[in-house]
A and B are shown apart, each in its own frame.
Chain A
Amino acid sequence: MKKSNILLVDDDEIYLFLMEKTIKSLTQDLVVNSFTDGEQAVEFITACTEKQIDLPQVIFLDINMPFLDGWGFLSEFKKLKSKIENHINIYMVSSSMMDKDKKRAADFEDLTGYVIKPIHEDKLAEIFTEIYHENW
């Protein structure tokens, strides 16, 4: 069974390193791609749609990033949505527990969830189970 990609978007490289490590410890079947800002992630998704490459099923999106932040990415993603066939689960990931951010996140219907850093193994497993059911 062929597994789809996971996209990590965060400017914190250590966070990326840790996430990749955690995911790998959970499963070897999932392919993880990571970008350090929203702009690169948008470019990647654009490229995928153009080249008919399968899109990732899950995106973990940080809010605070240079060049294009999480909110900026979501606006750009909305524009690309018409070209995307699959459903993509986007999780907003933030160290912020501020209500302001949570409320803002609720306004985006493309968001699947809001996750607060750090993401532990069991939380990840829960998310994967929800998306892939028992198939991971």
Chain B
Amino acid sequence: MWKRVFKIFISLYLPLLALSLFLLYSQKKEQIRNLSQYQQRDTELKKNYLQEQCYTFLRDTYYWSTIKYPLDFDPIGNHEDFMKPYLELINGITDYDQFRFLDLTGKEFYRVIRKRSTSIEPDSLQDKQDRDYVKAGLALKQGQLYLSQISLNRENGIIENPHKPVIRTVAPIYDANHKKIGLVVINFKMKRVLDKIKSQIAGNNIYLLDESHRIITSSLFKEDVPYEFKTKNSSMDDIFASNNTIYEKDTTYLSNNHIWSFHPVILNKTTFNFSSVVNSSSEIITPSNWVMVMENPPSLINAYILNSYQGFVMFNFCAIILLLAISYIYEKKRAQKDQFYLEVENKNILLTEKSNQLLENNSVIKDINHRLEMRNRQLSEFNYLVSHNLRSPVTTMSVLIEMMKNEKEPEKLSLLYPKLEQVTTSILNLSQDINEYVSIIDNSEIKVDDVDLFSLIDEVKNDFSETLLGHKTFEVIVKPEAWRNVQFSKFYLKSIIQNLMSNAIKYRKNNSTSYIEFETAYEDKSKVLYIRDNGTGLNLEMHGDNLFKLYKRFHRNISGKGMGLFLVKSHLDALDASITVQSEVGKGITFKIIF
């Protein structure tokens, strides 16, 4: 039972499981695609933000480079007043950490630094000719702006504490005569920008890398630009050793259940219009080509698609319960149905058996009934024989004897003796005849063979040949068209043929050619034998009832015992065959035997 239930369940559940797995897979794929899209968009936003910030810084720097500075510009001494309004401006832009002017040799000739967030102060001048950004700044052509790498601020070569990530912009400055007088260098505080960049939107990890894959800022690190003070885990390659990143263009892909987005930020050699004048774009020179990286870690992806998994599990759980219930009910119904059919079938078999038994019994009973009827008829015949034919001479004898007792005269008595003898003789004859009859009806096991009727007729014919010698022609005609052999007692059949042939000879007409004809036929699937003659015939209306009875004679002038047809009928009865007769006076007689 449970095995079948399980089978049905499996056959129902497997397709459902496959379908739900497919749906889960496609849903997951779709969700990862969505996640990728979101991440790509977020990365792009971050990148744009960084780019915008850089443009803002560069626009400031461009502004400082477009000012026409006085000849022999001395911001600390002669031109302090000139600088005053600009100093207000510098103070107001809180992103400015340092603002400096350098001469063409790389020495500072103006320097203000932000000590507190709201005020700037002049600081001691330094020689910066060896610094990369100074060298790069001095090499700038007109129309070019320099943007430095993001780095931790160092004072006198030592990283300032607390760490202060900065980016420097450099642009050449010109006096009123368009003569290049030096450089403007601005340190922008990057803390705010980097914090914004690494602020997580949806738990994704964010990295800003330089072109050597070194981490500038990351949501994973509290401190920015870690490679400057740390040797380990400061590079993307350190963290993710097998990272085959493509940096040349925006890329988003799924790898090892991480979604990675790489958006390069390439500013070097790009041009941008910072002024309000059309067609006066500036070229940006920068050593830093960044990559904005976002990572969707597996935990986040899994959390995002957790709902799908939950749905999948819930659906499958419900499906399993439901299908198990369905399978169980179906199987139970089926079992009940099978049981019912089995019972019906068994009953049917039983009924069929009983019906067959009844039919068999019926046929047996019918057979017995038939035999009983036959036996009854025979007994009644026998009874009749005894009550008429035997009782009659016996009563006669009793009367005779009584009379002889009373007779006194010897003469008359002597007349009575021969009568007594006559009666006893007739009783003897009768008892012989009865004996013959009893032997027929009492013979319960008659030997039945496949008898060849026509060779039997030939045999019987020879018995009469002597009788027929010297007489007028008597023909025996045979017509074995339908059949030759019949299942019957050979002895009885011979007796029947003898009696019928004997009658046909006895009752033939003298003035014509006589014959007896035997013809076989099939009627209603039974074998039928017709025996016809052209003898004197018989008035059946008068004698029909008595034709087959004992001691009935119908022709006064022909000797006969009245036994022949009685025996014929008895023989046929004993073997369940029947005989009928048709006749007309003067036109012969036809017997029909149905086997």
Find chain A residues with CB under 8 A from B423 CB: 14
A17:B387 contact, CB within 8 angstroms: no
Residues of A with C-beta under 8 A to B542? 68, 72
Residues of B within 8 Å of A129, CB to CB, are none
Q: Which residue of B lies closest to A15 (CB)?
A: B396
Query: Is A94 among interface residues, defined by CB-CB distance under 8 A?
Result: yes
Asked whether B287 is an interface residue with its Cβ less than 8 Å from the other chain, the reply is no
| Residue A110 is within 8 A (CB to CB) of chain B in the complex | no
Q: Collect the chain A residues with CB atoms within 8 Å of residue B419's CB.
A: 14, 17
Interface-forming stretch among B264-272, B453-461, B469-477, B546-554? B546-554
Of the candidates A14, A21, A67, A94, the one whose C-beta lies within 8 Å of that of B388 is: A94
**Residue pair A95, B387 in contact (C-beta under 8 Å):** yes
Known: A18-B400, A64-B389, A67-B554. A117 touches B422 (CB 8 A): no
Within 8 A of A (CB), among B539-566: 542-543, 545-546, 551-556, 562
Selected from B383, B392, B399, B400, the residue in CB contact (under 8 A) with A98 is: B383
> A9 to chain B: which residues have CB within 8 Å?
none
Nearest B residue to A97 via CB reads B387
B244 at the interface (CB under 8 A from A): no
Q: B388 — which chain A residues lie within 8 A by C-beta?
A: 63-64, 94-96
For the complex, is B4 an interface residue (Cβ under 8 Å from A)? no
Q: Does B384 contact A (CB under 8 A)?
A: yes
Instruction: Give the distance to chain A from B536, nearest Cβ to Cβ, in Å.
Output: 14
* Nearest CB of chain A from residue B376's CB, rounded to whole Å: 13
The interface residues of chain B lying within 8 Å CB-to-CB of A96 are 384, 387-388, 391
**Least Cβ–Cβ distance between A24 and chain B, in angstroms:** 12
Report Cα–Cα, A98/B543, bound state, in Å.
22
* A11 to chain B: closest residue by CB: B551
Asked whether A12 is an interface residue with its Cβ less than 8 Å from the other chain, the reply is: yes
Given A67-B553, A67-B556, do A18 and B392 touch, yes or no (CB 8 Å)?
A: no
Q: Using CB atoms, name the residue of chain B closest to A17.
A: B419
Contact of A14 with B396 at beta-carbon distance under 8 Å, contacts A96-B387, A97-B387 already known: yes
SS of A interface (majority): loop
Determine how close the nearest CB of chain A comes to the CB of B87; give it in whole angstroms. 167
Give Cα A68 to B538, complex, Å.
13
Q: Which residues of A have CB within 8 Å of B553?
A: 66-67
B367-389 toward A: CB 8 Å interface, digit per residue (1/0)?
00000000000000001100111
Do the beta carbons of B391 and A39 come within 8 Å of each other? Answer: no
Shortest beta-carbon distance, B16 to chain A, in Å? 91
* Residue B398 lies at the interface, judged by CB distance under 8 Å to chain A: yes
> How far apart sit A117 and B396, CA to CA, in the bound complex (Å)?
8
Are B395 and A117 in contact, CB atoms less than 8 angstroms apart?
yes
* Alpha-carbon gap, A27 to B528, bound state (A): 61
**A66 contacts which chain B residues (CB < 8 A)?**
551-554, 562
Inter-chain contact B396/A118, CB cutoff 8 Å: yes
Question: Of residues 1 to 39 in A, which have CB atoms within 8 Å of B's CB atoms?
Answer: 12-15, 17-18, 21, 37, 39
Residues of the A chain whose Cβ atoms lie less than 8 Å from the Cβ of B552: 66, 69
Q: How far is the CA of A67 from the CA of B557 in the complex (A)?
A: 11
Q: Which residues of B contact A118 (CB under 8 A)?
A: 395-396, 398-399
Question: For the complex, what is the distance from the CA of A21 to the CA of B551, rounded to whole Å?
Answer: 27
Bound together, the chains give a CA A108 to CA B542 distance in angstroms of: 17
Q: A18-B403, A72-B542 are in contact. Are A95 and B422 (CB under 8 A)?
A: no
Q: How far is the CB of B543 from chain A (nearest CB, A)?
A: 8
- B397's nearest neighbour on chain A, judged by CB, is A14
Min CB distance A61 to B, Å, is 14
Interface residues of B in 235-269 (CB under 8 A from A): none
The CB with the most chain B CB atoms within 10 A, among A14, A69, A117, is that of: A14
Question: Inside 8 A of B394's CB, which chain A residues have their CB?
Answer: 95
- The residues of B that contact A21 with a CB separation of less than 8 Å are 403
Q: How far is the CA of A76 from the CA of B249 in the complex (A)?
A: 144
**What separation, in Å, do the CA atoms of A15 and B391 have in the docked complex?**
12
| Shortest distance from the beta carbon of A27 to any chain B beta carbon, whole Å | 17
Give the docked Cα–Cα distance between A14 and B384 (Å).
21
Contacts of A39 in B (CB 8 A): 556
- A95 contacts B554, CB within 8 Å? no
Question: Which residue of chain A is the closest to B407 with respect to CB atoms?
Answer: A21
- Binary contact readout A63-95 vs B (1 if CB under 8 angstroms, 0 otherwise): 110111101100000000000000000000011
Residues in A50-67 with C-beta less than 8 Å from chain B: 63-64, 66-67
Taking the nearest CB of chain B, how far is it from the CB of A102, in angstroms?
12
User: Complex: how many Å from CA A63 to CA B552?
Assistant: 12
Q: B554: which A residues are within 8 A, CB to CB?
A: 66-67
Measured CB to CB, the closest approach of chain A to B405, in angstroms, equals 13
Complex Cα gap A29–B545 (Å): 40
- Tell me how far the C-beta of A25 lies from the nearest C-beta in chain B, rounded to whole angstroms: 9
Q: Are B387 and A12 in contact (CB under 8 A)?
A: no
Instruction: A72 to B389: give the CA distance in the assembly, Å.
Output: 18
* B33 → A minimal CB distance (Å): 115
The residues of B that contact A37 with a CB separation of less than 8 Å are: 556
Q: CB-CB contacts of B273-294 with A at 8 A, as 1s and 0s?
A: 0000000000000000000000
CA distance A18 to B423 in the complex (A): 12
Nearest CB on A from B421, distance (A): 10
Chain A residue nearest to B398 in the complex (CB) = A118
Q: Chain A nearest CB: distance from B448 CB in Å?
A: 33
Please provide the chain B residues from 426 to 475 with a CB less than 8 Å away from any CB of chain A in the complex. none
Residues in B neighbouring A95, C-beta threshold 8 A: 387-388, 391-392, 394-395
Interface residue from A12, A67, A71, A72 paired with B392 (Cβ < 8 Å): A12
The distance from the CB of A107 to the nearest CB of chain B, in whole angstroms, is: 14
A75 closest partner in B (C-beta):
B542
Nearest B residue to A119, CB-CB: B399
CB of B393 within 8 Å of the partner chain:
yes
Set A15, A71, A98, A117: member contacting B384, Cβ < 8 A: A98
User: In the complex, A80→B543 CA distance in Å?
Assistant: 19
Does B551 contact A18, Cβ atoms closer than 8 Å?
A: no
State A72–B554 Cα separation when bound (angstroms). Answer: 12
Q: Once the chains are docked, how many angstroms separate the CA of A69 from the CA of B422?
A: 22
**C-alpha gap A18/B400 in the complex (Å):** 7
9 additional contacts (CB under 8 A) given A18-B396, A37-B556, A67-B556:
A14-B393, A14-B400, A67-B555, A72-B542, A95-B388, A95-B394, A97-B391, A118-B395, A118-B398
The 7 sampled A-B contact pairs (Cβ below 8 Å) are A15-B399, A21-B403, A37-B556, A66-B552, A72-B543, A95-B395, A118-B395
Chain A positions near chain B (C-beta within 8 angstroms):
12-15, 17-18, 21, 37, 39, 63-64, 66-69, 71-72, 94-98, 117-118
